[in-house]
Each structure stands twice: as structure tokens, then as C-alpha cells.
């Protein structure tokens, strides 16, 4: 996964999910798009599964945050406190994952074009999530990262 190139489009039961690596100074995104700092995700799979869970919780009305970006941050980290999620999301380093959920692929591309026209550039996805000091049954980073969000999902 490190340095995966390209723009990825997935169809889930909830919506289309577009993921792309972006570099540059963070821009404010609204609606169904989010910029996720590289330190918050372990892999493309981690991003897509969290985006699907965030979309599903919004559609079901079980979301914790009002904005998709923060709901995605909650699903990525397993953290319930929105303020902690906001702090982690604002600690970006110039390397981000762009994630959008949309009903149609062109709508997702429009969100991406807005981010690109704001001065950001395409780059590879650079996952930077680190395993924290706690016992786990596995040592694979993306499985451990997804475990954090899954525990939150079980509590909903």
C-alpha cells in the first residue's frame, strides 16, 4: 500500500467511494468529501471500509458527527469525541487521502477537481498510521487500524 498511485473508485451498497492521494496545504472541503492526514489511516482498505461505515451511519441516522469528514475520522480512529478527531485531522503534514462519497461517479470527481483547483496536487497514498502500545491478536497495521473503528461500530 505504501505509495499506491492513482485514483480509486469503489461502489458500495451505500454509495460510490472515491479515494485519491493529495499533497499540499490542506483546503477546507464541504459536503461529502474529506481530507484525511496520512497518520490517520493504515491502508487503502482501511480508508474504504471506514468511508463505507461513515456513509452507512449517516444514512441510518446513527452518526455521531454532523459532517461526513468528521464521521469518517470517527470511523477511522474509533474515537467518539469529535474534538479529538478534529485535532487529529487538523494535524496534517502535507500528505493526505482525499475521500468522497457520492451517488454518481461524476459527483465524486467534481469534489476532487475542487480540491485540485484549490492548489493541492495528486500524489500517491502514503499511509502513516502507527500501531499503538496495546495488546492485539495481530501485527498487521491495517487490520489493527480497522479494529479500532469496528469496536465503535459494535457500540452503536
Decide if 143 is inside a domain: yes
Decide if 56 is inside a domain: yes
Decide if 61 is inside a domain: yes
CATH code of residue 140: 3.30.2380.10
Decide if 121 is inside a domain: yes
- The pLDDT tens digits for 89-103 are 887 678 999 999 999
Q: Are 95 and 21 in contact (CB under 8 A)?
A: yes
* Average per-residue pLDDT for the chain: 85
Q: Quickly list H helices, the chain.
A: 44-60, 68-77, 82-90, 105-117, 141-155
Decide if 2 is inside a domain: no
pLDDT at 144: 60
Element (H, E) at 18: strand 16-23
pLDDT at 127: 83
Decide if 1 is inside a domain: no
Give the range with max mean pLDDT: 12-16, 23-27, 130-134: 12-16
Q: What is the pTM of this model?
A: 0.83
More confidently predicted of 18 and 80: 18
Decide if 68 is inside a domain: yes
pLDDT at 3: 47
Owning domain of residue 59: 7-155
Q: Could you give phi then psi for residue 134, rounded to 5 degrees?
A: -160, 155
- Model confidence band, residue 152 (pLDDT cutoffs 50, 70, 90): low
The number of distinct structural domains making up the chain is 1
Decide if 94 is inside a domain: yes
Amino acid at each position: 500500500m505504501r505509495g499506491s498511485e492513482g485514483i480509486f473508485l469503489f461502489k458500495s451498497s451505500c454509495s460510490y467511494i472515491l479515494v485519491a492521494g493529495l499533497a499540499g496545504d490542506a483546503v477546507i472541503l464541504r459536503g461529502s468529501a474529506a481530507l484525511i492526514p496520512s497518520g490517520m489511516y493504515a491502508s487503502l482498505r482501511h480508508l474504504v471500509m471506514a468511508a463505507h461505515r461513515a456513509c452507512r451511519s449517516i444514512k441510518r441516522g446513527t452518526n455521531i458527527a454532523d459532517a461526513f469528514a468528521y464521521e469518517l475520522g470517527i470511523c477511522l480512529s474509533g474515537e467518539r469525541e469529535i474534538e479529538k478527531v478534529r485535532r487529529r485531522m487538523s494535524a496534517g503534514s502535507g500528505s493526505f487521502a482525499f475521500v468522497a462519497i457520492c451517488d454518481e461517479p461524476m459527483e465524486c470527481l467534481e469534489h476532487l477537481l475542487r480540491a485540485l483547483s484549490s492548489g493541492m496536487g495528486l500524489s500517491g497514498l502514503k499511509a502513516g498510521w502507527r500501531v499503538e502500545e496495546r495488546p492485539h491478536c495481530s501485527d498487521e497495521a491495517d487490520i489493527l487500524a480497522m479494529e479500532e473503528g469496528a469496536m465503535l461500530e459494535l457500540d452503536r
